[in-house]
Chain A
Amino acid sequence: MKHTLVAWMRDKPGVLNRVSGLLRRRNFNIDSLQVGHSEQLGISRMTFVVDGDEHMVDQVIKQMRKVIDVTRIDNISDRLSVVRELALVRVRTTPETRSEIIQIVEIYRGEVVDVALDSMVVQIIGSEDRVDSLISLMENFGVLEMVRTGRVAMLRGSSERRKRGSSVWSARSNGIEAATATDLFSRSGV
């Protein structure tokens, strides 16, 4: 099963290497990984997708918490969240197919961001499924080049009271019995 995790980390040299090194060393399977700035100066935000059972995700979270530069980690898989991915696809065009491609892109609410005589670059932002589905349609015309960002994700606003702007542990995940992953997630972080 795929789990989407969001981690905050101090923006220090080598921090990405620490995290990726840990994931490799502990033999965790990563589907995608995306890092960028967060709303807080000096704190980077990473969204990554791990493929594995509950036990594995439980370990990913616990081991990540031990990385000194990681200040917080949440599993948002089972919670209401906005998940987006961006893809750029260079697709082969001919005078005959060009308008058909543009139509499809419009249906997907994508954008044509570059046009050449024999190709164009299509941009799509959406859920992973939507990106997948547009790309598979584009494959019929010939995909020359493609780049995807991997998932970025954010929790939806809710009635649940949240400690806003805290990128630091709340040390609450103590005494978890039979430390099941779901149990842990509901207690970690937020």
Chain B
Amino acid sequence: MQKAIQNGRHDTTEPARTGERKQMKGSQMIWEALYREGVDLIFGCPGGAILPTYDALSEYEAEGKIHHVLVRHEQCAAHMADGYARATGRVGVCIATSGPGATNLVTGLATAQMDSIPMVAITGQVPTNLLGTDAFQEADVVGVTQPVVKHNYLVTDVNELPQIMKEAFYIAREGRPGVVLVDVCKDVQNATGWFDYGIPVELPGFEPWPEIDSTAVRRAAELINRAERPLVLAGHGVQLAGVSRELLEMVERAEIPVVTTLLGTGNIPESHPLSLGMGGMHGEAFANRAIQSCDVLIALGMRFDDRITGRLDRFAKQAKIIHFELDRAEVGKNIVPDVAVIGDLAQTLPGLLPQVVARRHQVWLQELDEWRTETTETDILNYEVDELIPPFVIRQLWHGSKNAKNGPAILVTDVGQHQMWESQYYTHDHAGQLLTSGGLGTMGFALPAAIGAQMGQPGRLVWAVAGDGGFQMTLQELAVLKQERDLPVKIAIINNGFLGMVRQWQQIFYERRYTGTPMLSPDYVKLADAYDIPALMVRKPEDVAAAIEQAQNTPGPFLIDFRVKEEVNVYPMVPPGAAVDDFIRRPKPSVVQGYSGVEPSW
């Protein structure tokens, strides 16, 4: 995984497959460019305006160069490309037709862009002579997608197509990764032009890898070496730069505890004594307390999102803040750091390492340990609960999948309560083990992203963990599992009959007025059966482990419907707008976790 990422970085050399100047149709140019970029997998759905391109695909499919995965909704094409990119570190590619096909992509593009995922989206567009006439299936796709992509293109001249495709991949991959959309008019796909992929990319306005200021690195090292209560806050950038090993080396040498963001999960093994897990809105109390009481906060590849900082003016007040970040627009956006180190973490962190001296912080770590013990004592898992509760399911999932074959299991979560429980109760020991929509918080992400991840990592165990709400947003993609020759994605539905996280907010902030949150689910076992996917329903705690084992031992896909207790909340919780140490603690299970008597309306 990390190797794959490294291959894409600072890639100034020409790709191996350059070849000479050739005359071909625009439709073929698209595939030729993808092939030369090393793309062998593409997710999409055809339609009128992209038909010439689909026609040209047959040759590439027949030769085994590119495999196309047919999705059931274009949003999922983007999520699959996204999941593929997250799992492999390569650029994910999706394709759709004009108008509705392209507008359906938008949610998926925004999801990837918010989480800095390298992705290229190709869309068909009406012929150039119909542009702007409100033609059938016309939408201003470049206009619609502009705020949610890193860059986009409208191609109206076939001779520009090779250059644009090359730029698209370059922009998507280099620097802080992101999404590039290429909208290709239908007549351009049919036109013939010269294809030349040896052309250099010249983008004077694109500055992917800023020069590194060694003075800033030195100042950062000085602050770290002087710190008595240092803390690392590690984000997604650590994984994108592939520097978790360097991070571990640094924190072990200087004995610095580590809090991660949601997307930074697993940056250092969570079973490591220096790991405090995730911080922020649903971070453990000791992690958030650590943020509030450290004296030097070393933020690595993260952007001080409101879900991690809580109330900004009370965030880490006592700390000197060092911000390592590639995107300079993130520096000073929410938090003004004392030292900013702008540049690629793959260069700045190794540059910092030799300057960090070996130290011990006994007092600080002891304090953290006391807080940790206090938290553990109130943990729901330490109480006898005879009903099926979600944290228990997640913990069993960890027990069942921690020794997966062919590398660590990949967990793909949806958005909501189960996402937070997964991050709290699954012990992630590897960066990139958890794939989730952190920035945009897109429900329905889990299943399609898991499909993409599984296709990128065919040998690994992939679990899609979703709530009943999110799962129903994209469940049509179950068909893809079958069509892609029984893709072995395992699905766990944490089914509580509610839009759980929204219900939790209604319970806490809206006096339990459960408006629009109770939800009816189909019989998921029968549903899976309709798709010819084996499935189980689990109601009792004692059946969980066996079900997980059965799922993992069954070749191909498997679905488990965990019918969990309805009204269980995610704790601790920092109310929106509060400081991160101003949290609602985990109550004793008998007090709040009990069944309220409110039945879903159905």
Contacts and interface: CB of A to CB of B under 8 A. Distances in A.
Contacts of B7: none
A62 B211 CA distance: 16
Interface stretch (A9-17, A103-111, A142-150): A9-17
A171 B211 contact: yes
B142, B219, B328 — most chain A CB neighbours (10 Å): B328
A17 B204 contact: no
Nearest to B156: A13
A175 B342 contact: yes
B458 interface: no
Interface stretch (B329-337, B470-478, B575-583): B329-337
Contact of B212 (A65, A71, A174): A174
B343 interface: yes
A179 B215 contact: no
Contacts of A22: 147
Contact of A179 (B146, B150, B210, B332): B332
A174 B146 contact: no
Contact of A10 (B205, B333, B341): B205
Q: Report the interface size class on chain A.
A: 20 to 34
B216 A66 contact: no
A55 to B, nearest CB: 7
A71 B338 CA distance: 29
B154 A13 contact: yes
A69 B205 contact: yes
Contacts of B327: 66
A58 B340 CA distance: 14
A58 B329 CA distance: 9
Contacts of B333: 59, 62
Given A18-B146, A174-B342, A167 B328 contact: no
A27 B214 CA distance: 34
Nearest to B150: A68
Contact of A68 (B151, B210, B216, B219): B151
A161 B137 CA distance: 55
A32 to B, nearest CB: 23
A68 B213 contact: no
A9 B205 CA distance: 8
A63 interface: yes
A171 B208 CA distance: 10
Nearest to A15: B205
B207 interface: yes
Given A21-B147, A179-B340, A65 B154 contact: no
A65 B328 contact: yes
Nearest to B146: A21
A116 B206 CA distance: 52
Contacts of A68: 150-151, 171, 203, 205-206
A127 B340 CA distance: 38
A1 interface: no
A168 B150 CA distance: 19
B339 interface: yes
Contacts of A9: 205
Contacts of A178: 336-338, 340
A175 B203 CA distance: 23
B341 A175 contact: yes
A65, A66, A70 — most chain B CB neighbours (10 Å): A66
Nearest to B331: A179
Contacts of B354: none
Contacts of A172: 211
Contacts of A168: 204-205
A14 B142 contact: yes
Determine the main DSSP class of A at the interface with B.
mixed
Contact of A14 (B154, B171, B328): B154
Nearest to B321: A178
Contact of B339 (A13, A65, A67, A177): A177
A67 B151 CA distance: 8
Contacts of A71: 204-205
A65 B205 CA distance: 7
B143 interface: yes
Contacts of B339: 175, 177
A145 B262 CA distance: 57
B154 A175 contact: no
A91 B143 CA distance: 40
A10 B331 CA distance: 26
Interface string A22-42: 100100000000000000000
Contacts of B206: 68
A154 interface: no
Contacts of A113: none
Given A9-B205, A17-B146, A175 B340 contact: yes
A21, A22, A62, A174 — most chain B CB neighbours (10 Å): A174
Contacts of A175: 212-213, 215-217, 339-342
Interface in B283-329: 327-329
Contacts of B215: 175
A174 B217 CA distance: 11
Nearest to A25: B147
Contacts of B143: 14, 17
Interface string B479-510: 00000000000000000000000000000000
Given A69-B205, A167-B204, A171-B211, A55 B332 contact: yes
A171 B146 contact: no
Contacts of A176: 331, 340, 342
B216 A174 contact: yes
B408 to A, nearest CB: 34
A14 B343 CA distance: 30
A14 B203 CA distance: 16
A173 B329 contact: no
A56 B339 CA distance: 20
Contact of A67 (B205, B213, B331): B205
A55, A168, A171 — most chain B CB neighbours (10 Å): A171
A162 B467 CA distance: 59
B328 A171 contact: no
A55 B207 CA distance: 22
B9 to A, nearest CB: 17
A2 B333 CA distance: 20
B338 A177 contact: yes
B343 A174 contact: yes
A9 B328 CA distance: 19
Nearest to B147: A25
A111 B416 CA distance: 66
B332 A58 contact: yes
Interface in A59-110: 59, 62-63, 65-72
A17, A59, A175 — most chain B CB neighbours (10 Å): A175
4 residue pairs, one from A and one from B, having the closest CB atoms: A175-B213, A175-B216, A62-B329, A179-B332
13 contacts: A25-B147, A58-B332, A65-B207, A68-B205, A70-B205, A167-B204, A173-B210, A174-B328, A175-B212, A175-B213, A176-B340, A177-B337, A178-B340
Interface of A: 9-10, 13-14, 17-18, 21-22, 25, 55, 58-59, 62-63, 65-72, 167-169, 171-179
Given A14-B146, A175-B340, 4 more contacts: A65-B328, A68-B205, A175-B213, A177-B219
